Amino acid sequence: MHRYLLAILTTALLSQPLLAGNRPAPVEVMLETTLGPIVMSIDVASAPLAGNYLLGYIDAGRYDGATLYRSAALDGAAAPQLIQGGMLAGALTQSGAVDPADYGVTELLPVWETTSESGRQHRRGTVSLARDLLATGSVIPELVICLRDTPAMDEHGRQIPDSRGYPAIGSVVSGMAVVEQVTQQPLDGATAIPFLAGQILSAPITITRAYRLRTDPYP
């Protein structure tokens, strides 16, 4: 694991308040968006690698000005299944090789907690992370929020790019109505990635600010 990523995870782990038994308390994160607020609870006890990976980017302010730019259904049904967002919206229209560092993504996460290891599954309101940028198979700091059960994202749910699935790192505490509004936006946004055609918002929703709601120990 790269030194920079290790430093992010170490700092984030040391900053977590503890519950009884030295179990890290969930971290509540606010996403202030142009559609309204979304509050997420990140389960750093069950998913410390993936959860603190995302928190490192949020603590560094890299989600300020990011966007929610995708609405999709992995199972082909008409009802939206997930939204996605983060720092990489600009890469969707880039031709040629993509360098994640150009968009503020300095580290990928090659190892994370599978849903079997964390005990979390992808249900309505689950917060997860995307992966497989540049065909590396690694997790990237792009948020995914489920609107309904999405078993394809669980371990062994699909074979693309492998059977490890995606890291379920928490859940939405409040703001699912805002998540629903994201799915109601026009989806004719440009993309150079063929399978994303019809899934990209014409006008991505801006995350004006992202930050921890609580940093003090829970009672």
CA 37 to chain centre: 16
Q: Whole-angstrom Cα distance, residue 21 to residue 186?
A: 48
CATH superfamily placement of domain 3-16+25-95+108-212: Cyclophilin-like (2.40.100.10)
Which pLDDT score, from 0 to 100, does residue 5 have?
53
Which pLDDT score, from 0 to 100, does residue 132 have?
82
Indicate the helix (H) or strand (E) that contains 131. Answer: strand 126-131
Which pLDDT score, from 0 to 100, does residue 151 have?
97
What is the pTM (predicted TM-score) of this model? 0.88
Write the CB contacts of 141 (distance below 8 Å, at least 6 apart in sequence): 53, 54, 57, 62, 86, 87, 105, 109, 129
Would you state the structure tokens that stand for residue 29, as one six-digit string? 């994160």
Write the CB contacts of 72 (distance below 8 Å, at least 6 apart in sequence): 80, 81, 82, 83, 84, 196, 199
Q: Whole-angstrom Cα distance, residue 106 to residue 146?
A: 26
Q: Cα-Cα-Cα-Cα dihedral of 184, 186, 191, 196, to 10°?
A: 40
Rounded alpha-carbon distances, angstroms, from residue 202 to 38, 141, 147, 191: 21, 22, 20, 10
Average pLDDT score over residue span 93-120: 93
Of 20 and 72, the structure prediction assigns the larger pLDDT to: 72
Would you state the structure tokens that stand for residue 40, as one six-digit string? 């997420």
Cα torsion angle, 210, 161, 10, 43, sign:
positive
Which pLDDT score, from 0 to 100, does residue 4 have?
47
How confident is the model over 192-217, as pLDDT tens digits?
Answer: 989 899 999 999 999 999 999 965 44
Which pLDDT score, from 0 to 100, does residue 22 have?
73
Which pLDDT score, from 0 to 100, does residue 1 have?
44
Q: Whole-angstrom Cα distance, residue 215 to residue 26?
A: 10
Side-chain-facing half-sphere of 50: CA atoms under 13 Å: 30
How confident is the model over 2-30, as pLDDT tens digits?
Answer: 544 544 554 454 455 555 457 789 999 99
CB 63 within 8 A of CB 53: no
CB 133 within 8 A of CB 161: no
Side-chain-facing half-sphere of 45: CA atoms under 13 Å: 13
Which pLDDT score, from 0 to 100, does residue 63 have?
98
pLDDT(36) > 70 = yes
Would you state the structure tokens that stand for residue 185, as one six-digit string? 């936006």
Q: Whole-angstrom Cα distance, residue 168 to residue 115?
A: 6
Would you state the structure tokens that stand for residue 155, as one six-digit string? 């371990």
